């Protein structure tokens, strides 16, 4: 899988999303029968990057349907997973990934100009978040999604439903308050301006005054002033989501085993597979090492610090600065951290069971042959093989939606009706240009809101 995703990343970084799709489709068998939801998630993400929005929605819908079906019958694979590792369980997606399915479909439909369908996905998101909140009972942090709420607000506003748009923006503000505490994601001034705009437009004098007091210095344009203008809304994914890696905890039960464990930690092997295989054999030979595997996210942070869209028609040149709406990496890492105790307890129980089973194989083989007929040797050999298998099959569940971006930013700019050329620019922390991307020319009518999504891999 690592080789497959390295090839996909190479295609994407070279600006060849269609080749990345072909690479993924050619490697579908690598996902195995238990990870087809993940395959469809990755396929849908790559299709969106390639601008294949309808095809992306088909893949993401299939992923959602299969994930829902797996949730109801997951327990049937628990026994197999207990004897080997959690990769024997069907992967249905993490909670935030399930919500991201609908967020991406919202973005796809918005790009296609199909606002009614996008709003259907917005309502699905609302339902999923409500279920998560009820089911988890506050035990996990992920129950509010800033991007989902804010994007819903923009969709309602584009559809002319200012009342529901304001409700969504309020929920977005609440979600950002939580995200600021959990991930350090700031509340964007863009959202503050939207709350001021719509509370004023709806005639909610008291609420509007509260916002003016709470948001001093925020500038906004009244809805009445912009009703005959057009608006461009940019959604940009940047970088790559983190990937999971194994974190091994090797527990020795003798001095000899301790020496072997310490010795193997200092050896550098040509590749990860060789390292694991060698350790499995050495630990199996000692017969006194229990291996526990838990997953750990390795962030792949974007180089981008600032993003902007430049909109021009030959006479007017406007800049839209994009702001952070979703820190995917921070959400994924926090979600895993909150489950790590439960995951570790399960891993310890599984490792202990496999260790005991290997010891049982050794004793059983010895008893079956008999001590006088070489049973001790047979038992030792059987025990070594069983311990090698126990260590070699211990592996954390490293599956995750790796083609997601590191983070997602949004920008908006109001323009007079007309035809515009658009270019997106990304800059690093020192202000250096990381990338730029010219987008299609667009013609906008009065009152129109046009959604444009893009992805930068840096």
Helix (H) or strand (E) holding 178: helix 162-183
Residue 239 and residue 386 share a domain: yes
348 token code pair: 């310890």
- 177 domain-assigned: no
60 token code pair: 């993401």
Q: What is the reported pLDDT for 374? A: 63
Nearest to 326 by CA among 134, 191, 156: 191
Domain boundary among 27, 62, 93: 93
Residue with tokens 């499995």: 280
Which range marks the domain in which residue 64 is found? 1-93
- 153 domain-assigned: no
- 406 domain-assigned: yes
- 183 domain-assigned: no
Please list the pLDDT of the chain residue by residue as tens digits (458 residues). Answer: 788 999 999 999 999 999 999 999 999 999 998 999 999 999 999 999 999 999 999 999 999 999 988 866 555 555 555 555 667 788 999 999 999 999 999 999 999 999 999 999 999 999 999 888 887 766 667 889 999 999 999 999 999 999 999 999 999 999 999 999 999 999 999 999 999 999 999 999 999 999 999 999 999 999 999 999 999 999 999 999 999 998 888 888 778 777 877 777 654 444 455 566 777 777 767 777 888 888 999 999 999 999 999 999 988 899 999 999 999 999 999 999 988 888 888 878 877 877 777 677 767 767 776 655 566 777 677 767 776 777 777 788 899 999 999 999 999 999 999 999 999 999 999 989 999 999 989 999 999 999 999 999 98
**Which residues have C-beta within 8 Å of that of residue 192, sequence separation ≥ 6?**
173, 211, 215, 218
- 169 domain-assigned: no
Residue 84 and residue 232 share a domain: no
Q: How many domains does the chain have?
A: 2
Phi, psi dihedral angles at 393 (to 5 degrees) = -90, -5
Domain boundary among 50, 67, 93: 93
Residue 238 and residue 89 share a domain: no
**pTM above 0.85?**
yes
Q: What is the reported pLDDT for 270? A: 46
Q: 70: how many CB neighbours lie within 10 A of its CB?
A: 18
Number of H helices, E strands in the chain: 16, 10
- 202 domain-assigned: no
Domain boundary among 32, 65, 93: 93
- 185 domain-assigned: no
Rg (CA), the chain: 27
Q: What is the reported pLDDT for 308? A: 96
Which residues is 309 bridged to in the sheet?
320, 424
> What sections of 268-423 are H helices per DSSP?
272-286, 328-369, 375-392
Residue pair 302/458 in contact by the 8 Å Cβ criterion: yes
Nearest to 408 by CA among 329, 336, 339: 329
- 274 domain-assigned: yes
In total, the chain counts a number of residues equal to 458
């Amino acid at each position: 899988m690592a080789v497959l995703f390295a090839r996909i990343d190479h295609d994407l970084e070279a600006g060849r999303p269609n080749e990345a799709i072909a690479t993924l489709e050619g490697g579908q068998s690598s996902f195995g029968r238990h990870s087809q939801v993940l395959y469809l998630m990755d396929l849908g993400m790559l299709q969106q990057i390639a601008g294949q929005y309808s095809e992306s929605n088909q893949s993401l819908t299939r992923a959602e349907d299969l994930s829902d079906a797996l949730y109801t019958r997951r327990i049937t694979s628990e026994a197999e997973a207990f004897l080997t590792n959690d990769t024997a369980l069907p992967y249905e997606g993490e909670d935030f990934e399930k919500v991201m399915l609908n967020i991406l479909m919202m973005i796809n439909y918005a790009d296609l100009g199909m606002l009614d369908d996008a709003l259907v996905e917005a309502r699905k998101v609302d339902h999923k978040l409500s279920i998560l909140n009820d089911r988890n009972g506050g035990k996990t942090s992920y129950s509010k999604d800033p991007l989902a709420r804010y994007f819903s607000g923009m969709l309602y506003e584009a559809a002319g439903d200012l009342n529901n748009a304001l409700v969504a923006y309020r929920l977005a503000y609440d979600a950002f308050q939580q995200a600021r505490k959990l991930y350090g994601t700031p509340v964007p001034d863009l959202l503050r301006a939207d709350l001021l705009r719509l509370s004023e437009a709806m005639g909610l004098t008291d609420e509007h005054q509260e916002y003016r007091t709470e948001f001093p210095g925020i500038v906004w344009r009244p809805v009445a002033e912009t009703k005959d203008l057009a608006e461009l809304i940019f959604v940009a994914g940047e970088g790559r989501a983190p990937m999971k890696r194994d974190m091994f905890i090797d527990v020795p039960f003798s001095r000899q085993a301790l020496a072997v464990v310490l010795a193997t930690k200092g050896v550098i092997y040509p590749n990860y597979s060789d390292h694991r295989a060698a350790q499995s054999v050495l630990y199996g030979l000692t017969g006194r090492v229990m291996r526990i595997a838990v997953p750990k996210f390795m962030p792949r942070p974007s180089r981008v610090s600032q993003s902007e869209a430049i909109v021009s028609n030959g006479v007017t040149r406007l800049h839209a600065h994009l702001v952070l709406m979703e820190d995917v990496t921070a959400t994924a890492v926090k979600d895993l951290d909150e489950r790590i105790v439960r995951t570790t307890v399960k891993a310890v129980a599984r490792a202990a069971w496999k260790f005991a089973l290997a010891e049982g194989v050794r004793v059983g083989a010895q008893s079956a042959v008999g001590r006088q007929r070489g049973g001790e040797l047979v038992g030792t050999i059987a025990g070594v093989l069983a311990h090698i298998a126990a260590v070699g099959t211990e592996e954390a569940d490293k599956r995750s939606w790796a083609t997601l971006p590191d983070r997602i930013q949004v920008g908006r700019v109001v323009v007079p009706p007309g035809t515009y050329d658009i270019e997106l620019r990304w800059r690093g922390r020192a202000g250096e240009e990381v990338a730029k991307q010219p987008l299609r020319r667009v013609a906008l009518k009065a009152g129109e809101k046009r959604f444009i999504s893009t992805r930068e891999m840096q």
